[in-house]
Structure 1
């Protein structure tokens, strides 16, 4: 672990390799697990605002889950997250003709309908952020379902921080990311 501004960063971001391999995993991270995508308070406001524009991109099951539970929910620990369909996949999940899970929010973004790509927690995966009063912990989350992404990252020699350049910059800013790159380059020397 090392400190970067008001973050404590796991060295795994520099040492582990990762490149999403949707053709292999079919987006199972949006389907597996026991909770929706973590959200910030600001993101819940964004979901409330953009939902009418995203709704046409969603499956009927997703729309029904959202209309029953809400555009976002608060779990038993008072953490905010996206709702699930029958306790399984995220309500915002869609599927392409090959059965690959996609994000309905991101589909609306890709078609320039909205200007918000998706929840930052989704964009950052496999990195998870834990907020504390004085700092944010930035950790690599190893999940067996992402073994194909780890293999592809190793094959292409892409460390986690490089794969997540856009997402890390979105979350922490360009200056933070530039400092992270400097730290990574110093450790290589």
Structure 2
């Protein structure tokens, strides 16, 4: 672990390689697991505001869940997340003609309908950030469904922190990322 400002970072984001391989995993991270995508407080308001524009991109099942539970949920532990369809798929998941899970929010963004790409936790994946009162922990979340992404990242020699560069800058800023790159070069 090392520290940059108010973040404690796992070396695993430098040591491990990763490039999403959607053709292999089919977007499993959006449909497997037991929780929705973690959300930041400000993102809950964004989801409420963009929902009418994202709704045309959604599947019927997603619309039903969102209209029953809301654009986000609060867990028993007080954590904010996207709602799930039958405890599995994120309510915002759609599928392409090859059965690959995609994000309806990102699809609306890509088509210029909204100007918000998706929740930062999704953008950062496989990096997970846990905020504490004095600092944020930045960790690599290794999950077997991402083995094809690890293999592709190794083949292309792309470390995790470079794969999620845009998202890390979005979360922590350009200066923070430049400091991270310096640490990685010295590592």
| Shared fold (TM-score, shorter chain, > 0.5) | yes
- For residues 7-27 of structure 1, the C-alpha deviation after alignment (integer angstroms, 9 at most, x for no partner) is 000000111000000000000
Instruction: Name the CA distance, whole Å, in 1 between partners of 2:186 and 2:146.
Output: 28
So what's the TM-score if we normalise by structure 1? 0.98
Q: What's the RMSD between the two structures over aligned residues?
A: 0.4
Gaps (5+ residues) in structure 1?
Answer: none
List structure 1 segments (4+ residues) > 3 angstroms apart after TM superposition: none
Count, aligned residues: 187
Taking the TM superposition and a 5 Å limit, the aligned residue runs for 1:131-150 are: 131-150=131-150
Gaps (5+ residues) in structure 2?
Answer: none
Taking the TM superposition and a 5 Å limit, the aligned residue runs for 1:10-21 are: 10-21=10-21
Instruction: Name the CA distance, whole Å, in 1 between partners of 2:174 and 2:115.
Output: 19
- For residues 117-156 of structure 1, the C-alpha deviation after alignment (integer angstroms, 9 at most, x for no partner) is 0000000000101111000000000000000000000111
- For residues 6-65 of structure 1, the C-alpha deviation after alignment (integer angstroms, 9 at most, x for no partner) is 000000011100000000000000000000000011000000010000000000000000
Q: CA deviation at 1:4?
A: 0.4
Task: Give the match for residue 118 of structure 2.
Answer: 118
Task: Give the match for residue 166 of structure 2.
Answer: 166
Task: Give the match for residue 51 of structure 1.
Answer: 51
The answer on 1:34 being equivalent to 2:34 is yes
So what's the TM-score if we normalise by structure 2? 0.99
Task: Give the match for residue 60 of structure 1.
Answer: 60
Taking the TM superposition and a 5 Å limit, the aligned residue runs for 1:80-119 are: 80-119=80-119
Instruction: Name the CA distance, whole Å, in 1 between partners of 2:88 and 2:181.
Output: 37
Q: CA deviation at 1:186?
A: 1.4
Q: CA deviation at 1:179?
A: 0.5
Task: Give the match for residue 5 of structure 2.
Answer: 5
Instruction: Name the CA distance, whole Å, in 2 between partners of 1:88 and 1:40.
Output: 21
SS in 2 for 1:128: strand
SS in 2 for 1:94: strand
Instruction: Name the CA distance, whole Å, in 1 between partners of 2:78 and 2:161.
Output: 30
